[in-house]
Copies of this chain bind each other. A is one copy, B any other.
Amino acid sequence: MPTIAVDAMGGDFAPDAIVQGVAAVSLSTEIQCILVGNENRLQKLLEGVTYNPENIDIVNATEVIGMADDPKEAVRKRRDSSLLVATRLVESGRAAALVTAGNTGAAVLACAKHLPMIPGIRRVALASVYPRQVEYPGQDYLALILDVGATIRSDADELIQFAVMGSAYARRVSKVAAPRVGLLNMGREDNKGGEALVEAHRRLRSLQEVNFVGNLEGHELLSGRADVVVCEGLLGNVVLKLLEGLAEVVVELTAAAAQRSFRWRAGLAMLSSGVGRLRELTDYASYGGAPILGCQHVVIKAHGRSTALAIGNAVKVAAKAVRDQVPQEISAAVEKVG
């Protein structure tokens, strides 16, 4: 069973939710976790919950990187922060994967600076899943979108690497043999979107290793046309947050309606499959977090608002990605494309 280094001090509900999540995983699985953070505080929290001591270690870290801290400065200066200590546990081989719910920018920087990159990869990417409509039997109801904020702007080379990495990840994780890859753009035509997008489109068209379905327009994000959506970080970040925000508005509306009376609840039943999908978007607990792709190790960035359940899922996703050899799959795909 793989060992997972868990940044116990990162996230809106850290360290309590992190410790609770890891404790629950220690009882239900054989996954080994190393909680990284203020040793005394973590020990005390552990004493308040039920857990299997054989599956949990603690490693002390004296500093914390806050959610609002400047990533560059924090990663440079806070060498003994829980994030950097946990990253070094992976770097040194003591842990096989990293899970953090902390500062996203700092997590991306820590990986890019301190973990070995997959040969040929220029930039790590942050990927996220979101629910959408399904178009063919066996299609995963979650699509993968990358990059959603590890980068800002991307050239054609980087977009193609995102396509290859996302495709390899989806192939391994969702077990779809040839995930459909789409390039988020302002039109379907191959001459749309400016130089980088036009070149990426042209080269993806002729890339045998990627099942490229062409440009994807904004409204098609909700369809099953693509399983992997490729875009630069600025675009992906705005789109993902908009999707999350829209889901929250709809869920709030239906929740308000559901409280009123039985008759209204009955009315909502019809909506439930659609709204359920949207609800999942806001229910981070059902997700395992967003993979940071491009390193030779598995790194899972859990949402800042992660509950204990979400942390537990992130740890399980990380362990599964290690067992499934996801970085090796990505590495092999990148090597093939050259």
| Selected interface stretch from A35-43, A81-89, A266-274 | A266-274
Q: Which residues of B contact A217 (CB under 8 A)?
A: 238, 241
User: Closest Cβ of chain B: how far from A299's Cβ, in Å?
Assistant: 20
Nearest chain-B residue to A219 (Cβ)? B245
Cβ-defined partner of A248 (8 Å) among B184, B219, B233, B234: B219
Asked whether A207 is an interface residue with its Cβ less than 8 Å from the other chain, the reply is no
Q: How far is the CA of A42 from the CA of B260 in the complex (A)?
A: 54
Known A152-B194, A187-B237, A257-B267; 7 more pairs at CB < 8 Å: A186-B238, A222-B245, A239-B239, A242-B242, A246-B246, A257-B271, A264-B269
Q: Which residues of B contact A332 (CB under 8 A)?
A: none
Asked whether A336 is an interface residue with its Cβ less than 8 Å from the other chain, the reply is no
Q: Which residues of A contact B (CB under 8 A)?
A: 70, 133, 149, 152-153, 184-187, 191, 193-194, 197, 217-222, 233-235, 237-246, 248-250, 253-254, 256-257, 260, 263-271, 274-275
Q: Which residues of B contact A238 (CB under 8 A)?
A: 184-186, 217-218, 235, 239
Q: Which residues of B contact A269 (CB under 8 A)?
A: 264, 267
16 residue pairs bridging A and B, Cβ less than 8 Å apart? A184-B238, A185-B234, A186-B238, A187-B237, A193-B234, A194-B234, A197-B234, A218-B243, A219-B242, A242-B243, A249-B274, A250-B274, A253-B271, A257-B267, A257-B270, A264-B270
Asked if B242 contacts A239 (CB within 8 A), the reply is yes
Q: Which residues of B contact A257 (CB under 8 A)?
A: 267, 270-271
